[in-house]
Amino acid sequence: MAGLARIALASSAGFRTLKPVLLLCLLAALVLAEPNAVGQSDYTPAPENLKARKEFQDARFGMFIHWGVYSVLGAGEWVFRDRKLTVDEYNHLPLFFDPEKFDAKVWVDLAKASGMKYITITSRHHDGFAMFDSKLSDWTVVKRTPYKRDPLKMLADECHRQGIKLFFYYSQLDWHNPDYYPRGWTGWDSGRPNAGNWDRYLDEYMDGQLSELLSNYGPIGGIWFDGMWDKPDADWHLSKTYALIHQLQPAALIISNHHQTPKPGEDVQTFERDLPGHNSAGFNTQYISNQLPLESSDTVNESWGFNIGDDKYKSPEELVHRLVRAAGNNSNLLLNVGPMPNGEIQPEFVSRLLAVGQWLSKYGDSIYGTRGGPIPAGDWGVTTRKENKIYVHVLDWAAPLLALAPIPGTITAANSLADGSPLEFTQNANGVILRLPQAQNHEADRVVVLTWQKPN
Ligand code: H79
């Protein structure tokens, strides 16, 4: 199976373009689906964890950061595998990582100005390289780079100063450590020995690094796991790892991008490049938890790690739409930037994020602290709700009247969020008809606030 995947995946074009692979994955997902894995039955979240979940949902918008020694090559975070580099070859990369322009304050300021309420950064990606001061190996930013410092410590300190939550992305998949053995779908070209100690990898190395992340950086938002999909049928000792995390920091949320139904101990369900349940990416699950907070991750261009040739930037309007559609689907949006090797975030990202922040400074009431609204989403747009308000987000509708599905209870007023002006509406058993305000030039979203008297 792994050999087959190796052939199927041996393109440097990246996964997006590999339709047969996605088909394979879909089949694999069907075979591996665990119908009983939806429950949280073995796990009772601590009260502080439940509080953190609610705060997470209220935040609605976070900044994803992919940054590592791969950034040096400007070819994305999969360059190790895409170029079929060996461990010996890849070992040269840290020698060029010296981000003289890195300033944690600039990043946190940008997140804040963009309306983002939390940050999730790669503490290590699939190359296994620790971007923090780990004592578990010498494959770390402190020991192998001329920079010699711990950027995650600086970022954590700055996040604490500015009161923004920091989450650590952690790849369970490792293309560098020989103990990641037996291998899974990926990591076959790195020239490692065909032997390794899987239990040692999990129990000593991975859990050891996670203990460091949960002990040395103050209170953190949580751990965002990725890469379990590489060996979906392996024993990952999850209950041990999850118990360790919850014991060290009960409020820390465990989020896993394994593309499966949530497992006991997980606190958030995340969807990569997708709205919950949509599975347009081809490898996500269609199951949507009705208990856990939801999150959708996405990119500003089409890459996670810095990719110098990727100019497929989404427009600010498109980014606002993704945020709004996520919120309408009761989900957060975790929007990615891949900083350059010098530590700067490229201006194409900065300008677009600031534009989203501008939009949020005006329309944020319809996003922050909301949950998915009572009216089914459609091509026209979505709804969100908060207390006695329903926010109707009109994203794509040219006609002056918009007919919405029936809403239980009574709508007592309709106002434009932009200027508060009252709007005409009628409500009957067939639904609600709204007379929309005229669309302004380049207006990403016309937001109508319905005042809602719910039925008792
Ligand atoms: O960190 C970013 C990416 O590097 C990482 N996740 C985001 C957040 C990522 N790695 N791979 N992918 C995303 C695409 C996943 C492809 C897969 Fe498959 C298709 C995984 C599961 C289905 C290959 C085939 C691996 C398993 C089956």
Q: Dump pLDDT digits (tens) for 368-380.
A: 999 999 999 999 9
**Cα-to-centroid distance, 14 and ligand 1 (Å):** 10
What Å distances lie between residue 18 and 15, 27, 184, 434, CA to CA? 5, 15, 18, 43
Q: Given this model, what pLDDT does residue 134 score?
A: 98
pLDDT tens-digit series, residues 106-116: 999 999 999 99
Nearest-CA neighbor of 139 among 153, 154, 123? 123
Neighbours of 211 (CB within 10 A): 15
pLDDT score recorded for residue 21: 41
pLDDT of residue 442: 76
Q: What is the pLDDT of residue 41?
A: 54
For ligand 1, mutation pick of 169, 283, 307, 310 (most atoms within 8 Å of CB): 283
| CA 392 to ligand 1 centroid distance, Å | 34
Is it the case that residue 417 has pLDDT exceeding 90? yes
Nearest to 386 by CA among 53, 57, 56: 57
Packing angle between helix 316-328 and helix 347-363, nearest 10 degrees?
50
Residue 85: pLDDT band by 50, 70, 90 thresholds? very high
pLDDT value of position 389: 98
Give the burial class of 307: count Cβ atoms within 10 A of its Cβ; 0-12 exposed, 13-18 middle, 19 or more buried. buried
pLDDT tens, residue by residue, 424-445? 999 999 999 999 998 887 789 9
Cα-to-centroid distance, 227 and ligand 1 (Å): 7
- pLDDT tens-digit profile of 124-180? 999 999 999 999 999 999 999 999 999 999 999 999 999 999 999 999 999 999 999
Share of the chain above pLDDT 90, in %: 88
List, for residues 312-352, the tens digit of each pLDDT value: 999 999 999 999 999 999 999 999 999 999 999 999 999 99
Task: Check residue 15 and give its pLDDT.
Answer: 37
**pLDDT greater than 60 at residue 10:** no
Confidence bin at 456 (pLDDT 50/70/90): confident
Residue 58 binned pLDDT confidence (cut-offs 50, 70, 90): very high
Reported confidence tier of residue 455, pLDDT bands at 50, 70, 90: confident
* Strand extents, DSSP E, 136-232: 165-171, 222-226
**Closest-lying ligand 1 atom to the alpha carbon of residue 272:** 8
Question: How far, in Å, from the CA of 272 to the mean position of ligand 1?
Answer: 9
The label of the residue with tokens 């997140």 reads: 111
Whole-model pTM: value is 0.91
Let me know how many helices (H) and strands (E) the chain has, helices first: 13, 16
Q: Indicate if the pLDDT at residue 26 is higher than 60.
A: no
34: pLDDT strictly greater than 80: no
31 has pLDDT over 70 = no
CA of 226 to the centre of ligand 1 (A): 8
221-265 per-position pLDDT tens digit: 999 999 999 999 999 999 999 999 999 999 999 999 999 999 999
Give the count of beta carbons closer than 10 Å to the beta carbon of residue 344: 17
Per-residue pLDDT at 440: 83
Using pLDDT thresholds of 50, 70 and 90, give the confidence band for residue 2. Answer: very low
For ligand 1, pick from 125, 185, 229 the residue to mutate: most ligand atoms within 8 Å of CB: 229
Return the ligand 1 atom nearest residue 28 CA.
Answer: 27
Backbone phi, psi, residue 306, to 5°: -50, 125
Alpha carbons 376 and 407: distance in angstroms, whole number: 10
With a cut of 90, say whether residue 13 has pLDDT above it: no
Residue range 348-357: average pLDDT? 98
- Please list every protein residue whose CB sits less than 6 Å from any atom of ligand 1: 5, 15, 21, 25, 28, 77-78, 185, 226, 229-230, 257, 259, 272, 283, 297, 304
Ligand 1: distance of its center to the CA of 146 in Å? 30
- Best probe residue, ligand 1, of 12, 16, 25, 224 (max atoms within 8 Å of C-beta): 25
Q: How far is the CA of 16 from the centre of ligand 1 (A)?
A: 9
Strand order in the sheet with 410-416: 371-372, 381-386, 389-394, 446-453, 410-416
For a mutational test of ligand 1's pocket, the pick from 15, 21, 71, 259, i.e. the residue with the most ligand atoms closer than 8 A to its C-beta, is 15
Three-state secondary structure of 331-393: EEEEEEECCCCCCCCCHHHHHHHHHHHHHHHHHHHHCCCCEECCCCCECCEEEEEECCEEEEE
Residue type (1 letter), 400 = P
Average pLDDT over residues 18-34: 39
pLDDT given at position 7: 30
How many whole angstroms separate alpha carbon 35 and alpha carbon 78?
Answer: 31
Average pLDDT value over all residues in the chain: 92
Residue nearest to atom 24 of ligand 1 (CA): 25
pLDDT at 439: 85
CA 219 to CA 55: how far, in whole Å? 15
